[in-house]
Structure 1
Amino acid sequence: MEPYKARNNEEFDEIVREYVNDIRKIIYTYVKNHHTMEDITQEVFLSAYRNLGQFRGDSAIKTWLIKIAINKAKDYLKSWNYRAIKVTNLIKEDSVSRKTEQVIIDNDWDQELARVIMDLPIKYREVIILYYYEELDTNEISNILNINLNTVKTRLNRSRDLVKRRLDFIGEISKADKKGT
């Protein structure tokens, strides 16, 4: 296939407008920080703009952008900067963790589900997000993540099981708290 070429900056701006929210969601599932998400989102579109001529159209442009976003997010998570921030946050988490149980009880179903998904290990979280929220099929996910199709299917099944078990556990806690009051 021939490389994709935006005819002008307005055409690229339209690509950004169409996919920026999807890219933000994907990045947030990795970094769990709004400021970092915005920075990485800018990097993704800057990289896409610079490399648009190399996009051959073997996949949808959305798939290509998601792949760039995942790679940028994973690079950030490997960086020394992220690791330093994570250690600092561990010190602060102790006071926050006491509030977590109450937050879970007070939240509605969607918020609980989102929290459970965000707490999954990345390898499970990414397949859930790509499959259910980005509505990509397992073949597309396999291509984006550069992993075997059967690995995608296994991770999808395990992540569903983890989400179900964690939601069941939250339901049991909620029932126990209601009986106690």
Structure 2
Amino acid sequence: MTKELQEAMQMYGEYCMRVAYLYVKDWTAAEEVVQDVFLAYYHEKDRFRQASSLKTYLVKITVHKSHDYLRSWRAKKRQLIAPFQMKTKEQSIEQQAIRQDERRILVDALLKLPMNYREVLILHYYDDYKLREIADILGISENTVKTRIRRGREKLKDVLQQEQWEVLLHD
């Protein structure tokens, strides 16, 4: 492993992992995606022209690899088998304390959105990318990014309002 790859993995590995998880919704699958990302970067690092930051480049690869994973048979198989498998890892008390209830509600609502709205909202609000950078990462126009952000926020608002009503109905 080269020093350059090792540094990239240390600096951006966890970040790419979180991005991948937001797409595939499974930590094990996200690990596979990130491994594929850094493997692709290692084999084709000469394609990185430094027109953007390394972080942006790796996130773009992560988004593409996540989409590839979601289209793959592995993802479909995992979705079919998952309900029948028992959870083997229990969260520690520390992990439970870190995860706040408001964040969980927001993340759950965000994950209910269609992928095209979810990804622009995550890249814009969570990852602080500019509209032009999001357009480059996803290969779409800036106007499409703006439209998806606006519509995604509307849909997120609707989902959050429904969540609040469901809580009131079950109390």
Q: TM-score under structure 1 normalisation?
A: 0.79
Change in Cα spacing, 1:161 to 1:91, as seen in structure 2 (3 Å) is: farther
Gaps of 5+ in 2: 86-99
Match of 1:151 in 2: 144
Match of 2:132 in 1: 139
Structure 2 residue matching 1:59: 3-state secondary structure: coil
Query: Sequence identity, in percent?
Result: 34
- 1:126 equivalenced with 2:119 (yes/no): yes
1:72-128 deviation line (CA, Å, top 9, x unaligned) = 111111112322333445789xxxxxxxxxxxxxx7211100111112111111111
1:5-35 deviation line (CA, Å, top 9, x unaligned) = xxx9223212111111211111111111111
Q: Which has the higher contact order (CA 8 A, sep 6+)?
A: 1
1:117-176 deviation line (CA, Å, top 9, x unaligned) = 112111111111111111101110000000111111111111111111111121222234
- 1:10 equivalenced with 2:30 (yes/no): no
Q: Distance in 1 between matches of 2:59 and 2:160?
A: 28
- 1:67 equivalenced with 2:60 (yes/no): yes
Match of 1:27 in 2: 20
Q: Which amino acid aligns with 1:27?
A: A
Gaps of 5+ in 1: 1-7, 93-106
How many residue pairs were aligned? 157
Change in Cα spacing, 1:176 to 1:88, as seen in structure 2 (3 Å) is: same
Q: Matches of residues 94-113 of structure 1 in structure 2 within 5 Å?
A: 108-113=101-106
Q: Superposition RMSD on alpha carbons, in Å?
A: 1.9
Change in Cα spacing, 1:172 to 1:78, as seen in structure 2 (3 Å) is: same
Which piece of structure 1 moves more, 62-71 or 167-176? 167-176
Q: Distance in 1 between matches of 2:8 and 2:81?
A: 37
Retained in 1: the 8 A contact 2:60–2:137? Answer: yes
Q: Distance in 2 between matches of 1:114 and 1:27?
A: 14
Match of 1:96 in 2: none
